[in-house]
Structure 1
Amino acid sequence: MKLRSFLLVLATVAVVLLAIAGGSLYWILAQSPLPLVKGGVIDQPTAAIFVPKQAPVMVSLLVNPDRLESFAQLTAYPKNRRRSRGEIEQVERSLLANTGLDYQKEIRPWIGDEITLSVTSLDFDRDPANGVRPGYLLAVRTKDPELAREFLQLSYSKQAIAGTFDLVFERYKGIDLIYKRPLQPPLKTSFLASAVVGDFVVFANDPKVLRDAINNVQVADLNLKNSPYYQEALQTILEPRIGVVYANLPAVSAWIANAPVPETPEVRQILTVALSLKSQGLVAQTALIGVAGAENKAPALAAPVGALAYVPDDAILTAAGMNLKQFWTQIETGLEPDSPLQQIFNQALNLLQEPLGINLPQEIFDWVRGEYSLALVPHPDGGEPDWIFIAEKTADANADEAIAHLDTLAKEQGYSVGNLPLLDKTVTAWTKLSTSTGKGLDSLARLQATVSGVHTSVDKYEIFATSVEAMAKALQDAERSLVNSKKFQQAISALPTENDGYFYIDWNQSEPILDEKLPLVRVVELAVKPLFKNLRSLTISSQGSQNSIRRATIFFNLGVR
């Protein structure tokens, strides 16, 4: 069973709960003086006892969605309360429209303070005849088990279609299971199974998945809670949080590819994410375990790099840091060749270097050992955005020689290399000449010059741009740079001062581009639409490593508009 065929009720119930929480965040963060704004709670996911040790991923919300909504209504300004309530109701109606369920009347009364969704296995029955069938499990803490049982009965009756399935009641190890069994099942059929186990309502996409979850509870060595890897990952979460994500990256990669086993089962790479509430946004603190060469490395910076002074304040996205050569070496040596992260980095590298016709690690990364910044900026005529790259020229890297080599490569690819004035600077342009012929009376041949790149030296930096217009923006007054803009200062306000640099995305400008290039982004947006509707920017920074654990922080800026 592929993810897109996951049972509607199981998916929509999980998504609506998370979406309601996300929809409430904006108003809580903007106005609330209450303790929840300090970050969240100290609890860990109790439902990890249902999840097997080899599970690819587990996502837990540790705060009751109803509590988040109540905080939103109590603390928002009166003029905003109707809008907040309206967004939440819209999510409820749209996600539960085809189920016949009413969140407020049928789900809300029994929900407690934990919701955990997990992919339990890549192929739960290991039967080649029916293809790859991942196991899915949803565990919801209940404050009233009897109301929860009534909900299960009601939900099954509303979904029932006469003559299409039998409702099966099964007693398994002291637990009452309920699931649907089609009367004439096709080869690939999924069941919706559920049970009330203690103070949790547990849903699964197959009775076997639910039975395995009960086994995990009764045999401690089987469940994720008692896994050494999981315990090691939990030790990285120190701050209060409203949610936790635990992911075994090789297994996650196999799940996305709909594969029955990971390509590199021997590789251990664990990602932990803790979601916390901060002033004007949501902070995700991440820890990556299982990366070579990450014993102990302090953050390299205590302030934004000077190279950001040449990034225009309308930048769509920006990456800035120190020592690009060292960063790339860490990626090459610190990640297994076939690991998911290594594949992601290699794909991104190919997207950048193939249009340029150069080997970026050899021709660029090798000599960039000081500050650097890479930015995507809008083009004045509204066409394809331009790139700007700023690199510090250090004495130990033979930067001038490397830059001259780039000019030579441009000539070898058929470009004319020459100087031209721009503002108060002289820039070197890579230009390709071509001719065109008009029609009718205007039939004379014309010479056209296409500029594919320009570069120039400013102070200790070399600035590259994909157009003359982009270079002009980079050379403008520093007061109009990104680093001096109010929006960027707000975007990094919740991040640690000491870090290894920033990756910044202006969401309003980048959303159309990301939706086109990465369809997964659109899926995520639809799932938690209220959160993304209020998102202004997204910023990521890394904080070095300690005890073989790499750390990073992500800030979702939901500032008041």
Structure 2
Amino acid sequence: MLALFTSSLLAINSVSLNSPSLPQKLLSPAPIAQFLPSDTPVLGLVDTKTEKWQSLSRFELFAQIYSAVENILPAQRGLNYQTDIKPWLGEQAAFAFMPRKEAKLVSLNDSFLLLVAVKDKQQLQAFIERFKEKSSQEVTARQYKGVQILEWKPSALDLPKNTPPSTLPLKTSKLPKSFMAAISDLPRLPVPKPDSIKNKGMAIALLPKYIVIASTAKPIEQLLDKPPGGANLAQNPNFKQITQHPQYSQALFTLYQDPNKFLSLFKSFSTDPSLPFPIPLSAINTAQVEQYNSISGLVWEQPEGLRLQLNAYRKQPSLANVLAPNTTQLLPRLPAPAYGATTGSNIYGQWQMLVTVLNSNPQFKDVLAQFNQSITSITKLDLSKDILGWMDGEYALFFYPTKQGLISRELNMGLGFFVQTTNRPKAESTLNKLGESIKTISSGALSTNTHDNIDGFNINTWEIGEQSVFAHTWIDDKTLLISTGLGAITELLPQPQQQLAKDYNFATATSSLPFPNQGYSYINMGSSLSWIYSLAPTTFNNPNFQSFKQVIGSVRSYSTTTTTTSKKEQYDGLLVLAPAKK
């Protein structure tokens, strides 16, 4: 976000600013939320304190990023952060969408603005002057309620005389005819409208301790229209909720959204003819949005790396979507190192919640019906009742290194799936029926077999010739294990030699996340990247990739979890980063 408002400042093509006379309500360096109306739909806050961002340089990822910015940005922009921006930059910056007035339509450009704290007005003026000579547009100045607003109009870019089509066809000359027939009904790719490609205009206003930036003057005027003493966002109980978060003062980035106010604004944006791409309103479930009062998010630094948390607060407490917490019973059975894993509980319950959401949208409802019909046509089984209906316990899906099984000989990967059930007979019936369906589809090329007493387990397999492509066994009366072949599954029995639950990387990635929770999603970046690089060693060993590999390789893992109560839904994520090289 720092780069966002910095780039916006550079786009000002600036002019010198004079100190205007301001209403009394704007004369103090108040927190940004006090400037904004109480019904502001969206506010994003960035803490720009130097010490906070310098602290991140202890991680190799940010050390690399800072080095790149210092080397690349000055060359491209004639800009140096230390000398051009740091002298005037205050301790906070923000972006916001101004609320929609009554039923009036509003465009994206007429709603969005940036506010940046200024600690040294003279340094800011000097910064603006240094870019004044680069301006090719005439800037006009006018007064609005005692505040000087400087603005310049957008100018069209020089475009080719040949008007591009509204959609781009896929390049199909080298694709098989059978493939093209299958995708003939897919929509073409939209391209931006020619009249939407232009140098956007800009408007700015300098307030005591803040500079306000927007594409047009309208959102700035709306900000200044807020009556003295009127209700502001800082007084909004929903916004106050995020300010009471224990990490609020430490957050690098904070997000607040009123989903209902933003939905109204979003619908207005969809009518804006200047947008380069259409907004698909049909994909938004209004009834779902209306269940929530506010959505908030924070990003902060912790010893392992960067932590993210999102909270969606309900208007009315509800237990409708609250699933039983995951007890991590299956974690000791997962292998380490794994490329990645996802754990949780009650797949059937999660599927039913998803079906409810999809069926509330006519477009998605039709797609879901077609999908279910396709599954039934192929397998003779009903997706909800037969395939997912018995998956009501904990589950774990994981990818792990192995040289055995369906996808392992060349790719060195196995896929495993544990799932618990209270209806084992139904699960066994489904697997048997599925095996018979696959036999029929393969015209007898696939056969089924049973291997008795392998490490004490009876393993059922599907085989094509001598290649085992699918295997499953019961770990206990309620726990089924499925994997990609006999060889791959035997590496997991009776337990893997190294357990993910005891793995240092996994423990580091999850120990600070909330517990109990609905399960984890975990990606081991080290092993995953090594696997990706092994797929095309010539390409990834190319010198052009080395800088990228060095940066992405400093990310050790990414893990997430969700926690659901009657009052809110919470998402937590942790990016574990390697320390900076000395």
Return the TM-score normalized by structure 2.
Answer: 0.67
**Equivalent residue of 1:109, what SS?**
coil
Q: Which residue of 1 aligns with 2:211?
A: 201
Q: Is 1:308 equivalent to 2:331 in the alignment? A: yes
**Equivalent residue of 2:205, what SS?**
strand
Letter aligned with residue 555 of structure 1: L
Separation in structure 2 between the aligned mates of residue 235 and residue 84 of structure 1, nearest angstrom? 27
Alignment of 1:1-400 (within 5 A): 9-10=7-8, 46-47=32-33, 49-50=35-36, 53=39, 55=41, 57-64=42-49, 66-71=50-55, 87-95=65-73, 97-118=75-96, 135-155=111-131, 157=132, 159-161=134-136, 165-181=137-153, 187-188=195-196, 189=198, 190-216=200-226, 220=230, 224-225=233-234, 230-231=239-240, 234=242, 237-240=245-248, 241-242=250-251, 243-247=253-257, 258-259=278-279, 263-264=284-285, 267-268=289-290, 269=292, 270-290=294-314, 294-295=318-319, 300-301=324-325, 305-333=328-356, 337-338=360-361, 360-378=383-401, 380-383=408-411, 385-394=413-422, 398-400=426-428
Give the superposition deviation at 1:319. Answer: 1.1
Separation in structure 2 between the aligned mates of residue 127 and residue 491 of structure 1, nearest angstrom? 46
**Equivalent residue of 1:388, what SS?**
strand
Note if contact 2:109-2:214 (Cα within 8 Å) is conserved in structure 1: no
Identical aligned pairs, as a percentage?
A: 18
Separation in structure 2 between the aligned mates of residue 58 and residue 406 of structure 1, nearest angstrom? 51
Q: Is 1:505 equivalent to 2:542 in the alignment? A: no
Give the superposition deviation at 1:403. Answer: 3.6
Deviates further, 274-283 or 375-384: 375-384
Letter aligned with residue 148 of structure 1: L
Give the superposition deviation at 1:372. Answer: 1.0
Separation in structure 1 between the aligned mates of residue 233 and residue 521 of structure 2, nearest angstrom? 33
Give the superposition deviation at 1:450. Answer: 5.4
Letter aligned with residue 191 of structure 1: G
**Equivalent residue of 1:60, what SS?**
strand
Note if contact 1:377-1:470 (Cα within 8 Å) is conserved in structure 2: no
Separation in structure 2 between the aligned mates of residue 288 and residue 473 of structure 1, nearest angstrom? 41
Letter aligned with residue 271 of structure 1: I
Give the superposition deviation at 1:135. Answer: 4.6
**Equivalent residue of 1:455, what SS?**
strand
**Equivalent residue of 2:555, what SS?**
coil
Q: Is 1:546 equivalent to 2:531 in the alignment? A: no
Call closer, same or farther: CA 1:498–1:48 in 2, change over 3 Å.
farther
Call closer, same or farther: CA 1:480–1:384 in 2, change over 3 Å.
closer
**Equivalent residue of 2:337, what SS?**
coil
**Equivalent residue of 1:325, what SS?**
helix
**Equivalent residue of 1:478, what SS?**
coil
Alignment of 1:377-456 (within 5 A): 377-378=400-401, 380-383=408-411, 385-394=413-422, 398-414=426-442, 415-420=446-451, 423-424=454-455, 425-432=457-464, 448=465, 451-456=468-473
Note if contact 1:389-1:463 (Cα within 8 Å) is conserved in structure 2: yes
Letter aligned with residue 565 of structure 2: S
Deviates further, 353-362 or 202-211: 353-362
Q: Which residue of 1 aligns with 2:557?
A: 537
Note if contact 1:142-1:199 (Cα within 8 Å) is conserved in structure 2: yes
Note if contact 2:39-2:99 (Cα within 8 Å) is conserved in structure 1: no
Q: Which residue of 2 aligns with 1:463?
A: 481
Letter aligned with residue 46 of structure 1: I
Note if contact 2:285-2:360 (Cα within 8 Å) is conserved in structure 1: no
Note if contact 2:110-2:216 (Cα within 8 Å) is conserved in structure 1: no
Separation in structure 1 between the aligned mates of residue 334 and residue 362 of structure 2, nearest angstrom? 33
Note if contact 1:100-1:158 (Cα within 8 Å) is conserved in structure 2: no
Note if contact 1:316-1:375 (Cα within 8 Å) is conserved in structure 2: yes
**Equivalent residue of 2:335, what SS?**
coil
Q: Is 1:557 equivalent to 2:543 in the alignment? A: no
Query: Which structure's residues are more often helix, by fraction?
Result: 1
Give the superposition deviation at 1:166. Answer: 0.5
C-alpha distance after superposition, 1:124-161 (max 9, x if no partner): x9989xx9757542221122233223333333x15413
Note if contact 1:375-1:387 (Cα within 8 Å) is conserved in structure 2: yes
Letter aligned with residue 166 of structure 1: E
Separation in structure 1 between the aligned mates of residue 368 and residue 210 of structure 2, nearest angstrom? 42
Separation in structure 2 between the aligned mates of residue 411 and residue 265 of structure 1, nearest angstrom? 45
Call closer, same or farther: CA 1:50–1:419 in 2, change over 3 Å.
same
C-alpha distance after superposition, 1:189-234 (max 9, x if no partner): 421222222322222122323333333586846x655556545x53
Unpaired segments ≥5 residues, structure 2: 12-29, 159-194, 271-276, 402-406, 536-547
Alignment of 1:479-494 (within 5 A): 479-494=497-512
Return the TM-score normalized by structure 1.
Answer: 0.69
Deviates further, 530-539 or 44-53: 44-53
Give the superposition deviation at 1:554. Answer: 1.4
Call closer, same or farther: CA 1:530–1:178 in 2, change over 3 Å.
farther
Note if contact 1:373-1:390 (Cα within 8 Å) is conserved in structure 2: yes
Note if contact 2:509-2:574 (Cα within 8 Å) is conserved in structure 1: yes
Note if contact 2:333-2:499 (Cα within 8 Å) is conserved in structure 1: yes
Q: Which residue of 2 aligns with 1:525?
A: none
Give the superposition deviation at 1:107. Answer: 0.7
Separation in structure 2 between the aligned mates of residue 481 and residue 236 of structure 1, nearest angstrom? 39
Alignment of 1:520-535 (within 5 A): 534-535=554-555
Give the superposition deviation at 1:89. Answer: 3.4
Letter aligned with residue 494 of structure 1: S
Give the superposition deviation at 1:280. Answer: 1.3
Call closer, same or farther: CA 1:399–1:192 in 2, change over 3 Å.
same
Q: Which residue of 2 aligns with 1:39?
A: none
Give the superposition deviation at 1:428. Answer: 1.6
**Equivalent residue of 1:166, what SS?**
coil
Note if contact 2:517-2:563 (Cα within 8 Å) is conserved in structure 1: yes
Query: How many residues of Structure 1 are paired with residues of Structure 2 in the alignment?
Result: 479
Larger radius of gyration: 2
**Equivalent residue of 1:98, what SS?**
helix
C-alpha RMSD over aligned residues: 4.9
Q: Which residue of 2 aligns with 1:31?
A: none
Give the superposition deviation at 1:488. Answer: 0.9
Letter aligned with residue 539 of structure 1: S
